[in-house]
Amino acid sequence: MRHIAKITVFALLLLLISGTAFGNPGNVQERIDETREEIDEYEQVIKLLDEDIKERLARIDELESQLKDTQSQLRQTEVEIAESESRLEEQNDAFAGRVRSAYMKGGMSYLEVLLGAENFSDLVVRVAYLARIFNQDAEIITAVKAEYAILQDKQQAMEDQLASIEDFRYQMDAERRNLLAQRRQMEEMLSDAKKQLQQDLAQLTPQANRQPVYGIILDNAAGARPQHGLAQASKVYEFEVEGRITRYLAMFSTFPQKVGPIRSAREHSILLSMENGVRFITASASRDNLEKINEWNVKYTNALGDSRFYRDSSRRAPHNLYVNLATLGLESRSSKMTVRPAYLSRQGSAANSFSIEYSNNYRVGYRYNEQESAYQRLINGQAHRDATGQAIMARNVIVQYVPHPSDWRGRPTPDVIGSGPIDFYAQGQRFRGTWRKDNMNSPTRFYYQDGQEIELLYGQTWIQLARP
């Protein structure tokens, strides 16, 4: 227990430091050294907690031993009190008999004994006899008083022992409560330390993003939310369709068991799937877009009429077409990995939140979560979550401003070939820049204003195609 106050304060300070010290990237090597120091400090705290818990366990064992001894003494005291009460009862009976005898002979019976003496010698004998009786009565009275005193002392001792036992029990219960609280604190510290260490090491260490192999068009009408699988996508494009609603092109390098609802293709989504080299999956498309898919040799799977895709009866069509990527079997996980940095190489302007308005009743927002080093996605001010309840978190967000001409059917068709401005958001910062895609077969590249190409951080990336 001698360490508890110091440990608790020390631990709280560590948690506070670890939660705030890494707000800004700073020098990577310096941050690595700080992380190592944090690990050492956590290990010292846990060691002290371990020692304190051992001391508490030893103290509880001691209290339990004292409790057993006291209970044994109490049982012995109760036996002695019972014996004392028995002796007292016998003496009370004898004294009562003596008093009763004197009462039955009358108050003058002893005087009559003296007056009935025949001579002086007989009187002396009678006086001695009466004195012996008086002395015996006095002894009985004294014994009665002594037994009462002993009984009172025993009773007081028993009460004191009972109070002592209750005190021991209280102490033991308090020690146990403290021990449990200390264990919970240690477990929380361990859990927090592991999470913090994992986050810090993840932030300090560049990681590899696996190449996605599936690109699936997901519905984003109100009746399609919440979507399945969206939180597990590697990269997601959001683009406008007719009615000023949007859809997603979600890229998957892992294989969630349920992804959807799946909807139809648009020309720009075909081009974006091509540049990412994924198998394009949609709920069919208009005739002209199906012709483009065929003409451009897109690796494509039409989910309509395919038994590997299914309708979820808990939702209404057309917002209920799904696929299990884990069993689809059309693609294997890619072995291609791209190492991404943990931190940006430059400083931008502060941007803890921002939003894109697609229509009067649909606004996409992002709010930076410093602990996660990612932006939490919002729809109309509410957290955007997938069907499992997992929050959608983006490490990179690019708002790509593109022209939105209409096709021959009046559908908005974002023009993703060419160039234009962007806003790039990462680590709570905003950067102005440009995008460029030279032709349908080339990738889209993103640049800072000075012309240096942007290297995206590892983790989920969202690209918002928006009107200029």
In three-state form (DSSP H/G/I as H, E/B as E, the rest C), the secondary structure along 360-413 is CCEEEEEEEECCCCEEEEEECCEECECCCCCECEECEEEEEECCCCECCCCCEC
Which of 346, 384, 352, 350 has the alpha carbon at shortest distance from 367? 352
Per-residue model confidence as pLDDT tens digits over 275-287: 999 999 999 999 9
- Predicted confidence at residue 1, as pLDDT, reads 45
Q: Which residues contact 303 (CB under 8 A, 6 or more apart)?
A: 262, 281, 282, 283, 284, 309, 321, 323
**Residue 389 predicted with pLDDT over 70:** yes
Q: Yes or no: say if 321 and 303 are a contact pair by the CB < 8 Å rule.
A: yes
Would you state the structure tokens that stand for residue 247, as one six-digit string? 């859809």
**Residue 139 predicted with pLDDT over 80:** no
Per-residue model confidence as pLDDT tens digits over 13-56: 344 334 433 344 444 456 556 666 766 776 676 677 677 667 76
Per-residue model confidence as pLDDT tens digits over 316-375: 999 999 999 999 999 999 988 887 887 887 899 999 999 999 999 999 999 999 888 899
Would you state the structure tokens that stand for residue 344, as one six-digit string? 């940006």
CA 215 to CA 221: how far, in whole Å? 19
Q: Looking at per-residue confidence, does 142 or 254 come out higher?
A: 254
Q: Which residues contact 207 (CB under 8 A, 6 or more apart)?
A: 339, 340, 342, 458, 459
- Predicted confidence at residue 111, as pLDDT, reads 60
Q: Yes or no: say if 259 and 229 are a contact pair by the CB < 8 Å rule.
A: yes
- Predicted confidence at residue 82, as pLDDT, reads 73
Per-residue model confidence as pLDDT tens digits over 294-313: 999 999 999 998 999 999 99
Q: What is the mean pLDDT of the chain?
A: 80
In one letter, which amino acid is 374? A
Q: Which residues pair with 433 in a beta bridge?
A: 422, 448
- Predicted confidence at residue 23, as pLDDT, reads 40
Bin 266: left if φ > 0, else alpha if -120 < ψ < 50, else beta: beta
**Residue 169 predicted with pLDDT over 70:** no
- Predicted confidence at residue 408, as pLDDT, reads 83
* Helix residue ranges per DSSP H, 2-27: 4-20
Q: Which residues contact 405 (CB under 8 A, 6 or more apart)?
A: 412, 413, 415
Per-residue model confidence as pLDDT tens digits over 57-97: 777 777 677 767 777 776 777 777 777 667 667 766 665 56
**Residue 157 predicted with pLDDT over 80:** no
- Predicted confidence at residue 25, as pLDDT, reads 47
Q: Looking at per-residue confidence, does 144 or 316 come out higher?
A: 316
In one letter, which amino acid is 9? V
How far, rounded to the nearest angstrom, does the alpha carbon of residue 104 sit from its chain's CA centroid? 87
Question: Using 50, 70 and 90 to split pLDDT, how confident is the model at 8?
Answer: very low
Would you state the structure tokens that stand for residue 34, as one six-digit string? 């700080």
466 burial (CB, 10 Å; 0-12 / 13-18 / 19+) is buried
Place of tokens 């032709």: 439
- Predicted confidence at residue 34, as pLDDT, reads 67
- Predicted confidence at residue 306, as pLDDT, reads 93
CA 358 to CA 275: how far, in whole Å? 25
**Residue 252 predicted with pLDDT over 80:** yes
Q: Which residues pair with 374 in a beta bridge?
A: 369
Place of tokens 């002894």: 139
Per-residue model confidence as pLDDT tens digits over 88-117: 677 666 655 655 555 454 444 556 666 666
CA 329 to CA 301: how far, in whole Å? 12
- Predicted confidence at residue 239, as pLDDT, reads 96
* Helix residue ranges per DSSP H, 106-119: 109-115
- Predicted confidence at residue 284, as pLDDT, reads 94
- Predicted confidence at residue 54, as pLDDT, reads 76
CA distances from 387 to 228, 376, 448 (A): 5, 16, 36
- Predicted confidence at residue 149, as pLDDT, reads 72
For residue 276, count other CB atoms closer than 10 A to its CB: 20
Per-residue model confidence as pLDDT tens digits over 201-234: 555 555 678 899 999 999 999 999 999 999 999 9
For residue 131, count other CB atoms closer than 10 A to its CB: 10
Q: What percent of the chain has pLDDT over 70?
A: 67
Q: Looking at per-residue confidence, does 232 or 130 come out higher?
A: 232
- Predicted confidence at residue 12, as pLDDT, reads 39
Q: What percent of the chain has pLDDT over 90?
A: 48
Q: Yes or no: say if 333 and 253 are a contact pair by the CB < 8 Å rule.
A: yes
Q: Which residues contact 69 (CB under 8 A, 6 or more apart)?
A: none
Would you state the structure tokens that stand for residue 395, as one six-digit string? 């490490």
**Residue 182 predicted with pLDDT over 80:** no
